[in-house]
Amino acid sequence: MKVKKEDVMFKELVLRKNTKNILKPKASASLEKAVKNVKQIFKKKRAEAKAATKKENSLIKLKSKQFKPQKFKNRGIVYVGHIPHGFYEEQMKDYFKQFGNITRVRVARSKRTGKSRGYGYVEFLHSQVAKIAADTMNNYLMCGRLLKATYIPPEKQHSGFFLGINWSEDKYPRLKNRRRTTLSRNRLQSAGDHEKYVQRLLDKLSALENKLQDKGISIKFQPVDI
């Protein structure tokens, strides 16, 4: 009986060892598979993120291209000089549209006064129409003035002809700046701002006194109502 029990115990030990040896590689294989799956998932996520960034960059590039000014090769620009008084953007557009479709009109104006400087530009949809208009209207007598109309070839055209917005006698840069300064000067001042303003004036007066003193003139300014 003892021999049988020892045989049974020996068989059990052998089976346990074999089962351990069998289970260990299976567990390690499952871990390796799990790690591989995790790595594949991370790779997929990275690839998706890269694809998303590429799409965003492409969309941004497309938007930037859409907002860039387009160059129209077939359009023609005519320089118009010796413009008479009262023949401005609206009148030029109404008059020159008898030749063809007009896309833009610009009269050169002064920054200080907003008045016409006597010349402008007319852009036609087709260059051939612009050439015909320039040949027809050159040396044309209008309101006691001879108009000077010349076609501008594509190699001499640039974006400065129609840069910015159209000015007028009621809307020009100096008038805007003047209105801005008047609003800033006429606004209500706080006590601190008023004190700074008074101090600046006093500093200016003292500097003027020092300049006069250097030239031998002794004058002391007395500010009033400050």
| Domain 76-162 bears CATH identifier 3.20.20.30 | no
Tell me the pLDDT tens digit for each residue of 75-131.
899 999 999 998 999 999 999 999 999 999 999 988 888 888 999 999 999 999 999
Q: What is the pLDDT of residue 133?
A: 94
Q: Domain map of the chain by residue range? A: 1-68, 76-162, 173-214
pLDDT along the chain (226 residues), means of 10: 51 55 53 70 74 64 45 80 91 93 92 88 94 94 92 89 80 81 83 88 91 89 74
Residue 68: its pLDDT value, please? 43
Cβ(202)–Cβ(223) below 8 Å: yes
CB contact set of 141 (below 8 Å; sequence gap of 6+): 147
Angle at 31 between CA 29 and CA 36, to 5 degrees: 95
- Would residue 225 be called left, alpha or beta, if left means φ above 0 and alpha means ψ between -120 and 50 degrees? left
| pLDDT value at residue 81 | 95
